[in-house]
Amino acid sequence: MSDAVTIQTPFPFTEGRLRVILTGAAGRIGRGFAEFAADRFELVLLDRPGVDLSGIAAYGRTEHCDLADLPRLTELFRGADCVLHLAADSNTAAGWDSLLAANIVGTYHTFAAAKEARCPRLVFASSVHAVSGYSPGRQISADTPVNPGNLYGVTKCFGEALGRYMAERERLTVMAVRIGAFQKPDAAEASDSDWMIGTFVADEDLYRLLERAIRVEGITFGIFHAVSNNWFKRLDITETRELLGYEPAFDFMRLSPTFKELFADLPHGHNPSGTRCADRSD
């Protein structure tokens, strides 16, 4: 087992209708996950004041809350089984002032509120940008040292480090999910989609992975990679498969107009020469 995971006990999955808080619930991932999870969890959907929440109201209880308001967050988190922390400034070119408020202070307040409210689990939406400073052809395992390619990535490294501290010192179990290029499958069919060749994660694959991160037991802390079953995976998903039972359904190569004819008649996971393409690269 890699150093990116702290195992407590064998890892079964919790069944039943857990109460899950989503921050950033009106964002791209939040909206889709809320629709996916509405019949799986009791959802409380949070976003900042002024954001229109009417489009997600059918999926759970909606609340406005600023991440700067620690007492209000703590009040909302009481009685929850898990917080799924999606809220962030996701602009990879964002300046420090915005990133500090949303991704540093806001993330700290979310963790601190979960701890104070005695919520047992927090799933943190990290990013491929925590390691995007490595050369493009390198495959990255969960325990490869962080190497952010921008300040946004730096803030995700902070969230991962804070999560490990909270898990191993403050008794809050934390799953950090490094999300790749989150898209609907038809986005891979565009003629200019090749930029996501190794990082593509289909929306449905991510939602299923997040559900498993919410439900898994016996793991104190883990960094898990979220990309689809792409022939080349920039982020190695070996441990995500082994510990979370993640089985992604989509493959960028089979959707992309550049590659899909080449891959159409091949079994999943095989390259054009017929040899097995492992998750880990040499």
Tens digits of residue pLDDT in 202-222: 999 999 999 999 999 999 999
pLDDT for residue 261: 67
pLDDT for residue 150: 97
CA separation for the pair 246, 64 (Å, rounded): 32
Above pLDDT 70, what percent of the chain? 90
CATH architecture of 5-263: 3-Layer(aba) Sandwich (3.40)
Q: Each residue of 63-78: pLDDT tens digit? A: 999 999 999 999 999 9
Q: Each residue of 155-172: pLDDT tens digit? A: 999 999 999 999 999 999
pLDDT for residue 237: 97
Q: What is the C-alpha R_g of the chain?
A: 18
Say which DSSP state 91 is in: -
Residue 154: in which H helix or E strand, if any?
helix 151-169
Q: Per-residue confidence at 263, pLDDT binned at 50, 70, 90?
A: low
Q: Per-residue confidence at 264, pLDDT binned at 50, 70, 90?
A: low
Residue 101, C-beta contacts closer than 8 angstroms, at least 6 positions apart? 68, 89
